[in-house]
Every structure is written in structure tokens, then in C-alpha cells.
Amino acid sequence: MISSRTLPQFILFAAGTVFGGLVAFFTWGMLSPGDPSSAFMPFEIPYQDKFLHFVAFAIMALPAGIVLPRRYLGFICMSLIALAAGMEFAQHASGVGRQASLFDFIASSLGAGLAGLLVLYSRRAYGRYRQKHSKNEAFAAE
């Protein structure tokens, strides 16, 4: 039986699955020996490693930040920042030829934080849009 809660539950499940898959994929990439990002970016850009850390953590923050209630946004960002710190520590401790980098940690943290702010700003803008248009619809109905 399909209920009115089926679609929101499916969206939450799908976003959670995407979030978990992204965390697993990026964790694999950050703990793999060598540089697996060369398979995805065959060209070289300045500060490519920092850019990829920034993008990876921003991409991880988006699906969770979009579907979960706003009160969890800080938790999501702080969890990803803790993951960034853990990744750098694991790279240092793993002995697979990867090095810990404070600048990688900063880039990852900035990616998660900026994505959180983007989600927060988008939600506020959408709320203002809905409020404005609901007033216009109420005015037109009179």
C-alpha cells in the first residue's frame, strides 16, 4: 500500500544511500596508495589536490544537508570536518605512501562548511520565495 509518507521516506533513503556511497568512495580515494584522482582528472590544475578535497567534502555535505532538517546541518558539517581530520590522521598512520596535510584538512573543512552555508542560504531563499508567493495567492483569491 502506498501512503503519503512513501515518497519522503524514499527520498530520505536515497539521499542517505548517496551520502554513504560518497563517504565510502572518497574514503577509499583518500586512503589508496598513489593518486587515484588522476583517473578522474587527466589534466593538471593548480592546487588540484586541495581543489579535490574541497569538492569531495562539499559533495558529501549536500545530499545530507538538503534532505535532513535544518537542525542537523551543524552536525553534518562537524561530522565531515571530523572525517577530514580522521582521513589526514589515517593517511599519516597507514604507511601506504600518503602524507597528512594541514592544507588538505583545511580544504576539506572549507568544502563541508561552504556546502552547509549554501544549503542554509538556499533553504532561507526558498522559504522567502514560498512566503512571498503564498501571500500573493491569498491576495489574488480575495
Q: Has residue 71 been placed in a domain?
A: yes
- Whether 107 and 46 have beta carbons less than 8 Å apart is answered as no
Between CA 84 and CA 47, with CA 79 as vertex, the angle to 5 degrees is 30
What is the model's pLDDT at position 3? 64
Using a pLDDT cut of 70, give the percent of the chain over it: 86
Mean pLDDT along residues 39-61: 84
Domain that holds residue 62: 6-141
Q: Is residue 17 part of a domain?
A: yes
Of residues 80 and 43, more confidently modeled: 80
Q: pTM for this structure?
A: 0.78
Is 1 inside a domain boundary?
no
Report the pLDDT value the prediction gives residue 140, as an integer from 0 to 100.
Answer: 53
Higher pLDDT, 134 or 3: 134
Helical packing angle, 6-31 and 73-94, nearest 10°? 20
| Pick from 44-48, 52-56, 112-116: least confident | 44-48
Q: Is residue 27 part of a domain?
A: yes
Element (H, E) at 122: helix 102-141
Residue 94 lies inside a defined structural domain of this protein? yes
Domain count, the chain: 1
H or E segment to which residue 63 belongs: helix 48-67
Q: State the DSSP code for 68.
A: S
What pLDDT, on a 0 to 100 scale, did the predictor assign at position 60?
Answer: 92
Residue 42 pLDDT more than 70? no
Predicted pLDDT of residue 4: 65
